[in-house]
Structure 1
Amino acid sequence: MEKLIDNPTIPNSNYSSMINLLSHKAMIHPEKVVYTFLSNDNQDETNTTYQELHMYAKQIAAYLQHLGLEGQRALLMYPSGIDYIKAFLGCIYANVIPVPVYPPGLSRNMLRLKAIMDDAATNIILTTTHLHSKISFHFSDELSNMNLKWIPIDDISHDYQDQWSQPKVDKESLAFLQYTSGSTSSPKGVMVTHGNILHNEAMIKAACQHNEDTVMLGWLPMYHDMGLIGNILQPLYLGAKCVFMSPMDFLQKPFRWLSAISKYKATISGGPNFAYDLCLKKITDEQKRQLDLSSWKVAFNGAEPVRYETIQKFAQAFKDCDFKLNQFFPCYGMAEATLFITGNEKLTKPVSKGFCKESLLENKAIEQPINSENSVKLVGCGMTWLGQKVEIVNTDSLSTCASSEIGEIWVKGNSIAKGYFGREQETNYAFNNIVKDTNENGFLRTGDLGFFHEGQLFVTGRLKDVIVMRGKNHYPQDIELTVEKADQAIISGASAAFSVDINGEEKLIIVAEIERKYRPRPHKERELKEYLDNVLRNIRQQVMEEHEVQPYAIYLLKTSSIPKTSSGKIQRRACKNAYLNNGLEVWHN
């Protein structure tokens, strides 16, 4: 550590751990504000500097070392805010393995929490005194036999920071467990090392052309990889600043997000595609007149399919706020690769192409005019960075695909995690795979399908979600987009298409949430039934016309009832399980 202090210009690539990184940033930027948390409708700010963050991390780490927890795993259960970051880095400084989780608000969240605790083999939970009391009150029955060890860190004595002993960790050391957004019964903990984080942050920096003057603005959940690696740790890696708010503050009022970008002159911000759709839906013309988005150079869009219609409409809707289409930064990534896999070049217009619908069904990507009648519009997710390698592999032969052939996306590089904690069989399947025709090993199987075209990676869907009917592949997100465009009652980003076996034949099932104003009411039951019957007809007709497949059943669901991941992605398998077990919250079918 002393050698770092002798060299204040040490490049980030030479750091051996996240401890070295923050220690050094605190030395060269002691008084610089690293995090600003917004609350109370963006009126209140909570700030912390690099030096304060370093001291908090040492204080928490020393206490955890005092408890003898080094090398153990501990759940981090915090509301959005700077306390979460302090706890995460405190664990890192103590070589305690943090496991970010979402505080339970519903019984189904408690089931997921218990599944994560069992999988991570821990009963230790770091939290705040207030949240501990709140959870203990609301979930007293569920917690009574769980033998939990709660560690509130908001009342740790400052005296502990002088007792901190820097642990022996390096790039190969496990930094944290990132639990994937699977079904509640089987979440998997991705083992992310210090070296994984440092390499992934370097790739993000290179792709986005970041530096110390970068201003990040975020609202993404900190227990999710895009929020943690992208929003929280990237500014730390840069020696830059991050302004952030809670996900709920954004969801309740999307204007808060763009207003904060305008106010703080943020240079990078973003989220999944649905976030931009929500802005289009909720932000008024009067609110737009208050916005200046000219500073926003990287509007990243990832974690779910990037929709051509969304980026076009957003650029058009906010052009008078000085937002341009080339500010969009489509990207692709996943927790198993730490976060970032591919991304476009900064301030380069997104590559949007049209591909023959029939050819895509047969696993071939044949370009045609984007606005032609039989064209599927796809947005490229950029290219690889810093030597990371992506191959498109045939899932039958496990050899590289021919040009324009759709296959599974395989990734190799220093960002690829070490596997799934305690799951040798799943790790052996997903990690360190060999491409047979080149005999090159070390590849991660992403489970995603895609192809390269003119140097851009195009992602077409999840391998396990593809619907195969009568020998043709149907991508569920394409059907879902058709469903959402079929009627104004359908909520954007809240539908799922999947298949089930009916008497030995695959049949298409569609579920979709509808706006609250269309829910059944006693005094308008007949009128609403007629309207919802018409919605069903519209969906059926549009799906048959555009995809040449007949839906077996269509269900209109209650608002906010469809299963989603922590980043807002539809959980199609969970939807299918709910359908098979009569667990859907249906309003009309």
Structure 2
Amino acid sequence: MRNESIFDAIVEQVEERPCQNAVVLEDGDGREHHIGYLELHLLATSLAAWLQSVCRPGDRVLLCYPTGIEFTRSLLACLYADVVPVPVPLPGRTDHHLSTITGIALDAEACLVLTDAAHSDEVYVWLTHDDLGIHECVATDVIEFEDASDWVEPLRKGEDQALLQYTVGPGGGPIGITVSHANVLHNCALIAAAYGLGSGVRSGGWLPLHHSMGLIALLLAPLISGGTAVLMPPETFCADPIRWLRLIDRHDVRFSVSPTFGYGLCVSEITDDQLAGLDLSRWRHALLVEMTGASPAEARTVELFAERLRTAGLRAEALRTSYGLAEATLLTAVGAPGGAVEARCFDSRALDRNLLIPTSDTQGPRLLGLGVVPEPDLRIVDPVTAGALPEGRIGEIWVRGPRVVPGYWRKERLTGERFDQVTADGEKGFVRSGNLGAIVRGELYVTGLMRDVSRYGGRYLDLGRVERAIVGGGSIVACSAFPAPADRDEIIVVAQPARAETDEGSSPLIREVRDILALRFGVHRTKVVLVKPGQVQVMPDGEVNRQLTRELFVANALDIVYADVAREFFFEEVAALPGTREAEGSALT
């Protein structure tokens, strides 16, 4: 019988393998905890009975736990009780972290917060400090809940909401994604088929469970497919990366996943002595997932990881790449099995003109392919015309199909701007990823972000690449490029020189910047503003804050060394910058 809900899929595994381990946890002290399918099901059922007595169907419940069995129990209990779990990280020590989870709690309008006894005081302090006292906080591991006989099986299934998953929105704050039961089941089936998950197969790793990559790939996919999820806290991995690899060896883990960051930490922190005696020959699928597109996957990091771990038995063909998108539940393109991950070199001048052309020149940018494109569910689309682009042309990545979620939580305007998009030739039902990329020889490559795109002369211009090219010349250490306030076919470059400049010494720098834009990008109308250190604004993640720099420029609030811009530019009205939330809705009109 075809499963129509996550509950159906879990119960099927409980009936088939009641005594098999469902979850194994290695905590920060190296102790091992485990729980079988039947025991997990019974504990979840008792908690679900209580949840049904205090919540209404569809209510949101915050899950504020460390990685572990109690989180898994509470997640399933919410699904068993027809309430919507909202996984969130534990309160951190920084104001930014606290404001993020407070924003989630308020946006979700959660009626309840579940945690464990070890962290209940910490959670209570956060709720009190941020005036969230209306949220009842319950430590689920120390309370004896209702008799499970009072529990009523859930009715929500198919396209009904299963999860409320938060990610970073266009403005940098948290934004909720409504994930249905059908979305989860489809993506878990994709993961199981691509990476050999099934009865008794162990998957595991360190990714946080409030993140879709950890929640879907490392927890729900193995549980739904009848495997075992082997978990460790992310802070344990960050403190001692070798423990991830030892976890894989000790527990015979066949599938694990990490962003580039995790592979890079292993390369930089693990010693040859630590690798001695490690056996990774049974590790079948070491998956790299690229999700944000903020910087293309670092090919050299993955190659170094493969080289270092070859001595521990890791097979080159075990490394796999994929492209993930939160709006498509998780995995969207999956690397083909059977061959070693290989980066391609591309022509840098062609890339500057939105073409991805392989080259034998090793000086060009090297990018990792992120998987085979699932036809007909993925298109590369021109951001100006909405026309589907041929192989080798760079545009925005659009995705459709059963993996795509219904939309953003209570954000009708943004949902309308991003979801249910139509290409110029009438193909419907796509979600805009916000990532730039191209297809080369049937494989997807991610090259940047839509927020970096501006219209210029009837085409689109990747301002992120413009900025990187200028900084790459060596004379400029930071810069921000944006359309002139009074003329969108003219580009303003706010740049910080590598050394202090006088008016007389500024002319060669300005010519250098203009030459880069003219020769590499075909931009011949450029104004350059040289500023003192600290004037080019950046966001918390280190990316250039182009909109804020532009607003300061228009307001004449930058500390300028030299400018070849007429003074009237400084007092134009600030307009929404292309690529931001305000402008995205009209980017294709």
TM-score normalized with structure 2 length: 0.79
After superposition, the Cα gap between the structure-2 partners of 1:125 and 1:545, relative to the gap in structure 1 and judged at 3 Å, is: farther
Quote the offset at 1:127 in angstroms.
1.6
Bigger shift: 469-478 or 51-60?
A: 469-478
Answering whether residue 320 of structure 2 is matched by residue 329 of structure 1, we say yes
CA distance in 1: counterparts of 2:369 and 2:456, whole angstroms: 27
Partner of 2:164: 177
3-state SS of the aligned residue for 1:35?
A: strand
* 8 Å contact from structure 2 (residues 218, 229) kept in 1: yes
Answering whether residue 85 of structure 2 is matched by residue 108 of structure 1, we say no
CA distance in 2: counterparts of 1:34 and 1:258, whole angstroms: 21
Q: Supply the AA of the counterpart residue of 1:260.
A: L
CA distance in 2: counterparts of 1:335 and 1:83, whole angstroms: 25
5 Å-filtered alignment, 1:169-318, equals: 169-182=156-169, 186-302=173-289, 303-304=291-292, 305-318=296-309
Deviations 1:6-28 (A, max 9, x none): xxxx5xxx101011111111111
Deviations 1:62-86 (A, max 9, x none): 1010113322111111112111111
- Look at both structures and tell me which one has the larger radius of gyration over its CA atoms: 2
Quote the offset at 1:129 in angstroms.
3.4
* 8 Å contact from structure 1 (residues 476, 497) kept in 2: no
* 8 Å contact from structure 1 (residues 412, 443) kept in 2: yes
After superposition, the Cα gap between the structure-2 partners of 1:396 and 1:137, relative to the gap in structure 1 and judged at 3 Å, is: closer
Quote the offset at 1:137 in angstroms.
3.5
Partner of 2:67: 80
After superposition, the Cα gap between the structure-2 partners of 1:325 and 1:416, relative to the gap in structure 1 and judged at 3 Å, is: same
CA distance in 1: counterparts of 2:337 and 2:205, whole angstroms: 18
CA distance in 2: counterparts of 1:31 and 1:411, whole angstroms: 40
After superposition, the Cα gap between the structure-2 partners of 1:402 and 1:390, relative to the gap in structure 1 and judged at 3 Å, is: same
5 Å-filtered alignment, 1:420-435, equals: 420-435=408-423
Aligned mate of 2:356, from 347, 356, 365: 365
RMSD (Å), alpha carbons: 3.6
* 8 Å contact from structure 2 (residues 324, 332) kept in 1: yes
Partner of 1:507: 493
Aligned mate of 1:419, from 402, 407, 417: 407
After superposition, the Cα gap between the structure-2 partners of 1:377 and 1:98, relative to the gap in structure 1 and judged at 3 Å, is: same
* 8 Å contact from structure 1 (residues 477, 497) kept in 2: no
3-state SS of the aligned residue for 2:337?
A: coil
Quote the offset at 1:252 in angstroms.
0.8
Deviations 1:31-53 (A, max 9, x none): 00011111245x20110111111
Partner of 1:320: 311
Answering whether residue 410 of structure 2 is matched by residue 410 of structure 1, we say no
3-state SS of the aligned residue for 2:138?
A: strand
Quote the offset at 1:255 in angstroms.
0.9
* 8 Å contact from structure 1 (residues 298, 328) kept in 2: yes
* 8 Å contact from structure 1 (residues 35, 242) kept in 2: yes
5+ residue gaps, structure 1, are 1-9, 487-494, 511-528, 530-542, 565-569, 582-589
After superposition, the Cα gap between the structure-2 partners of 1:436 and 1:63, relative to the gap in structure 1 and judged at 3 Å, is: same
Answering whether residue 116 of structure 2 is matched by residue 128 of structure 1, we say yes
Bigger shift: 187-196 or 344-353?
A: 344-353
* 8 Å contact from structure 1 (residues 255, 283) kept in 2: yes
3-state SS of the aligned residue for 2:179?
A: strand
After superposition, the Cα gap between the structure-2 partners of 1:578 and 1:358, relative to the gap in structure 1 and judged at 3 Å, is: closer
Quote the offset at 1:141 in angstroms.
3.2
Quote the offset at 1:182 in angstroms.
3.3
After superposition, the Cα gap between the structure-2 partners of 1:117 and 1:572, relative to the gap in structure 1 and judged at 3 Å, is: farther
Partner of 1:392: 380
Partner of 1:69: 56
Answering whether residue 346 of structure 2 is matched by residue 355 of structure 1, we say yes
* 8 Å contact from structure 2 (residues 276, 312) kept in 1: yes
5 Å-filtered alignment, 1:37-56, equals: 37-41=25-29, 43-56=30-43
Partner of 2:503: none
CA distance in 2: counterparts of 1:188 and 1:426, whole angstroms: 10
After superposition, the Cα gap between the structure-2 partners of 1:506 and 1:95, relative to the gap in structure 1 and judged at 3 Å, is: farther
CA distance in 2: counterparts of 1:503 and 1:343, whole angstroms: 42
Deviations 1:116-139 (A, max 9, x none): 222222342122233221233466
Partner of 2:84: 97
After superposition, the Cα gap between the structure-2 partners of 1:250 and 1:301, relative to the gap in structure 1 and judged at 3 Å, is: same
CA distance in 2: counterparts of 1:579 and 1:288, whole angstroms: 49
Partner of 2:334: 343
Q: Supply the AA of the counterpart residue of 1:563.
A: P
Answering whether residue 540 of structure 2 is matched by residue 563 of structure 1, we say yes
Quote the offset at 1:497 in angstroms.
7.8
TM-score normalized with structure 1 length: 0.79
CA distance in 1: counterparts of 2:192 and 2:532, whole angstroms: 45
CA distance in 2: counterparts of 1:327 and 1:210, whole angstroms: 14
Partner of 1:449: 436
5+ residue gaps, structure 2, are 500-512, 522-527, 553-589
